[in-house]
Amino acid sequence: LSERLGGVFDRLTKQGALSEDDVKTALREVRVALLEADVSLPVARSFIKAVEKKATGAAVTKSVTPGQQVVKIVHDELIQVLTGEGEPGALKIDNAPAPILMVGLQGGGKTTTTAKLARRLKDRDGKRVLMASLDIYRPAAMEQLKILGEQIGVDTLPIVAGQSPVEIAKRAKQQATLGGYDVYMLDTAGRLQIDQVLMQEVEDVRDAVKPRETLLVVDGLTGQVAVEVAQEFDDKIGISGVVLTRMDGDGRGGAALSMRAITGKPIKFVGLGEKMDALETFEPERIAGRILGMGDIVALVEKAQQTLEVEQAERMMKRFQKGQFNMNDLKMQLEQMMKMGGLEGMMSMMPGAGKMAKQMEGAGIDDKVIRQQIALIQSMTKKERANPQILQASRKKRIAAGAGMDVSDLNKLLKMQRQMSDMMKKLGKMGKGGMLKQAMK
Ligand code: GDP
Ligand code: MG
């Protein structure tokens, strides 16, 4: 009976695996969606290829079609690629005064974004900010920043005619130091296209102030062009992050994916309008949904997965109440732990598991060990998982070898399972599993 019960979990979680055909068919549609969203062709191509590898053979959630499952996998992968390292929207602005260099083509939204960001740093982070325009080519540009500064209550460097961008940058640094500012922002001049003079000028400014952040401001609607611009600026100047503007428009924002794939630099903010408060921290989930344009399907699969998790939890609770805890249960617990970010998250789950987590922590068990333990369980047959007590020396040897581990590792795992099983029996006796029931809620 318990052998059959063991299999129930597998049957519940999957109705099968994604075949190569399933994946290929679904990805054709995804490819069209990506291109429509203005993802650059080579990026779309390599992204699809990566997903194809990942998705083939993956489990299909109950009550979901293979195609829907692929879309969900694509969505998750998109988020993965879009997510940069570190805290979203974080800036390195310790060691006052910290220089932030704003670069990009003309009309991309540099000046507007400089002011938006200054406002955010002032209002949200309580920073004292000084802004300076290095655009000596268009007198109106300096005036534009000054007016924005007045509007948002942020100081701008007084305009002095006849200075070079580097001279202005140095003056900004001096004033920021003397004036006790936390941050000074340098809004550089742009060109309609990348040219050598522009690049040299920005390089000189960079060398003069050694910016803590160099943010590339690009029009998110320009797709392919945005990517070329990003690559060029990153090669020549070295950028620390990207701000995508005009994301309030109709565009689906495929540039975000191309940008991440090609430069690997984090997208820190998105511009969502002309107003000074229209700047937001970049949210990978939101952009992923927009690029793919298949939010309904993703929601459906997520719902199905949630339903399944609840069913699983209920089923498990029933088993625990009967004091049953075999290797399938342990495997699920271990996988849950990995999913919940290790031992810490596990503690809050349920009394039994919390105790196990504590024991494991005491024994110096980390995520790597958990992965190895899962591998050991995977190396067992169905029968062995359901009845770990049948494991004798020869079976143990085979299992350990299959997982590339020692029999002593397997013994530790078996001990853990026995302890858990004992604990479950005790808990089960405590009146219809009252404690467990509560913990599962
Ligand atoms: P710069 O040449 O790079 O300094 O670009 P500007 O900051 O002067 O911006 C050019 C135009 O784009 C201005 O009219 C801005 O109001 C507008 N703009 C900037 N960011 C955004 C945005 O996120 N959304 C929209 N809709 N317009 C923006
Ligand atoms: Mg400007």
Under 8 Å between Cβ of 242 and 252: no
Kind of pairing between the strands at 98-103 and 213-219? parallel
Rounded percentage of the chain residues whose pLDDT exceeds 90: 42
Token pair for 191: 């060109």
Q: 111 CB under 6 A from ligand 1?
A: yes
Smallest CA separation from ligand 1 atom 15, residue: 274
- Measured from the CA of 247, which atom of ligand 1 is nearest? 23
Indicate the CATH number for domain 98-282: 3.40.50.300
Rounded percentage of the chain residues whose pLDDT exceeds 70: 87
The residue ranking higher by pLDDT, 295 or 410, is 410
Phi, psi of 240, rounded to the nearest 5 degrees: -105, -15
Please, what is the Cα angle at 282 between 277 and 284, to 5 degrees? 145
- SS3 category, 9: helix
The residue ranking higher by pLDDT, 364 or 330, is 330
First to last CA, the chain: 28
The residue ranking higher by pLDDT, 388 or 428, is 388
The residue ranking higher by pLDDT, 347 or 416, is 416
User: What's the gap in Å between 111 CA and the centre of ligand 2?
Assistant: 4
Q: What contacts 24+ positions apart, CB below 8 Å, involve 161-170?
A: 163/136, 164/136, 165/134, 165/136, 165/189, 165/201, 165/204, 165/205, 166/204, 166/205, 166/208, 168/132, 168/133, 168/134, 168/136, 169/132, 169/134, 169/205, 169/208, 169/209, 170/208, 170/209
Q: 245 CB under 6 A from ligand 1?
A: yes
Residue list, annotated binding site for GTP: 104-111, 187-191, 245-248
Q: Which of 274, 276, 280 to mutate to test the pocket of ligand 1 (most atoms within 8 A of CB)?
A: 274
Ligand nearest to the CA of 114: 1
Q: 109 CB under 6 A from ligand 1?
A: yes
CA dihedral 395, 396, 401, 402 (to 10 degrees): 60
User: What's the gap in Å between 291 CA and the centre of ligand 2?
Assistant: 28
Indicate the CATH number for domain 322-440: 1.10.260.30
- Interhelix angle for 254-263 vs 284-292, to 10°? 120
Average pLDDT over residues 143-167: 94
Q: What contacts 24+ positions apart, CB below 8 Å, involve 39-42?
A: 39/223, 39/254, 39/255, 39/257, 39/258, 39/291, 40/223, 40/224, 40/227, 40/254, 40/258, 40/262
Q: What pTM does this model have?
A: 0.72
- In this prediction, residue 9 carries a pLDDT of 38
Q: 280 CB under 6 A from ligand 1?
A: no
User: What's the gap in Å between 142 CA and the centre of ligand 1?
Assistant: 15
Condensed to tens digits (0 to 9), the pLDDT of residues 177-191 reads 999 999 999 999 887
The pLDDT of residue 433 is above 60:
no
Q: Which residues pair with 217 in a beta bridge?
A: 243
Closest alpha carbon to 112 in 266, 282, 273 = 273
Under 8 Å between Cβ of 354 and 347: yes
User: Which residues lie below 8 Å from residue 349, measured CB to CB, with a gap of 6+?
Assistant: 336, 340, 439
Q: 272 CB under 6 A from ligand 1?
A: yes
Q: 104 CB under 6 A from ligand 1?
A: yes
- SS3 category, 268: strand
User: What's the gap in Å between 194 CA and the centre of ligand 1?
Assistant: 18
User: What's the gap in Å between 189 CA and the centre of ligand 1?
Assistant: 14
Q: Which residues pair with 281 in a beta bridge?
A: 269
Model confidence band, residue 441 (pLDDT cutoffs 50, 70, 90): very low
The pLDDT of residue 194 is above 60:
yes
Average pLDDT over residues 264-277: 93
Interface predicted TM-score (ipTM) of this complex, two decimals: 0.98
Alpha-carbon gap, residue 31 to 350, rounded angstroms: 43
Condensed to tens digits (0 to 9), the pLDDT of residues 325-356 reads 889 888 888 887 776 655 555 444 445 555 56
User: What's the gap in Å between 274 CA and the centre of ligand 2?
Assistant: 13
Ligand nearest to the CA of 142: 2
- Measured from the CA of 271, which atom of ligand 1 is nearest? 23
Model confidence band, residue 10 (pLDDT cutoffs 50, 70, 90): very low
Average pLDDT over residues 225-241: 89
- Measured from the CA of 187, which atom of ligand 1 is nearest? 4
Average pLDDT over residues 307-330: 80
- Measured from the CA of 105, which atom of ligand 1 is nearest? 3
User: What's the gap in Å between 73 CA and the centre of ligand 2?
Assistant: 40
Q: 271 CB under 6 A from ligand 1?
A: yes
Smallest CA separation from ligand 1 atom 26, residue: 273
Condensed to tens digits (0 to 9), the pLDDT of residues 75-123 reads 989 999 998 777 878 899 988 899 999 999 888 999 999 999 999 999 9
Would you list the domain boundaries of the chain? 16-84+285-308, 98-282, 322-440
**Residues flanking ion ligand 2, Cβ below 5 Å:** 110-111, 141
Q: What is the largest CA-CA distance in the chain?
A: 89
Q: What is the mean pLDDT of the chain?
A: 84
What ranges in 124-247 are assigned the alpha helix state H?
139-152, 165-178, 196-209, 224-236
Closest alpha carbon to 149 in 109, 170, 180, 122 = 122
- In this prediction, residue 5 carries a pLDDT of 37
The pLDDT of residue 399 is above 90:
yes
